[in-house]
Amino acid sequence: MLKTMKQFVNLDFEPIAVRLNSAEEFAEAVELIETVRASLKEEEKVYLLPKTVDFMTKLHRAGNVVLGLRNEEGLLIGLTVVRKMHHWTDIPNFEGLPFIEFIYNQTPCLLQSVCTHPEYRSMGLADRLLKSAEEWCLKKERSRIVARIVIGNKGSLSAFERNEFEVLSEGIDKEDGYKFVYVGKKIVAPLVEDFSPAEQETETSVTAIFNT
């Protein structure tokens, strides 16, 4: 199936995809999360919980990644944390996530803290972040990706659905009592269509040899 990326509105530059690696960069990430949270109404703040540099550093050291998007001036305008799950106990309040996700060979990556700078919303940055996350997961040989979305977070649900995530299950947060859904999707490596014309030619001639 062909996926169409949402068209950018009023965006006359190509965002730069980056991986954040240092304490300074994690501080930028923490700041972006704070800026996004400050733009949310009180009841929406549960959509995106605050994070610390320490949290990001530990995740990074454990082989996970913080993916970002920068504008032309280098300002961080979007990010997501991608975590490689190993066991269901890796997720606090895991009850909402079907165990099937953890069956051998399906252990997923978990997307957390997806957020876009308030001045850059509705421009398709979430599409880019999800795409980068999928590419990273594929490189890590993970073929499933999941995320948890608080019910009522329409913008987030819309972005995930547009990127072919399906609702897997519902749950209630034990500590705060809010309802959430887990969404997930299988990620597959790019198809033959993505090969260069030269590679496609080789494919064709190999097929031709086998058919003769």
Ligand X SMILES: CC(C)(COP(=O)(O)OP(=O)(O)OC[C@H]1O[C@@H](n2cnc3c(N)ncnc32)[C@H](O)[C@@H]1OP(=O)(O)O)[C@@H](O)C(=O)NCCC(=O)NCCS
Report the alpha-carbon distance of residue 105 to residue 183 in Å, rounded.
18
Sign of CA dihedral 42, 47, 112, 38: negative
Q: Which of 32, 187 has the CB closer to ligand X?
A: 32
Choosing from 83, 155, 169, 173, the residue that interacts with ligand X (CB under 6 A) is 155
For the bound state, the minimum distance from the C-beta of residue 12 to ligand X, rounded and expressed in Å, comes to 16
- Interacting residues with ligand X between 18 and 57 (CB under 6 A): 36, 47-48
Residues 6+ apart with CB under 8 A from 8: 123, 124
Tokens 């060979």 correspond to 105
Q: Which of 10, 105 has the CB closer to ligand X?
A: 10
**By the rule CB under 6 A, 114 interacts with ligand X:** yes
- Interacting residues with ligand X between 157 and 186 (CB under 6 A): 158-159, 162
Report the alpha-carbon distance of residue 184 to residue 164 in Å, rounded.
8
In 3-state terms, what secondary structure has residue 174?
coil
Q: Residue 148 forms beta bridges with which residues?
A: 182
**CB closest to ligand X, residue no:** 155
Residues that bind ligand X (CB under 6 A): 6, 36, 47-48, 114-116, 121-127, 147, 149, 153-156, 158-159, 162
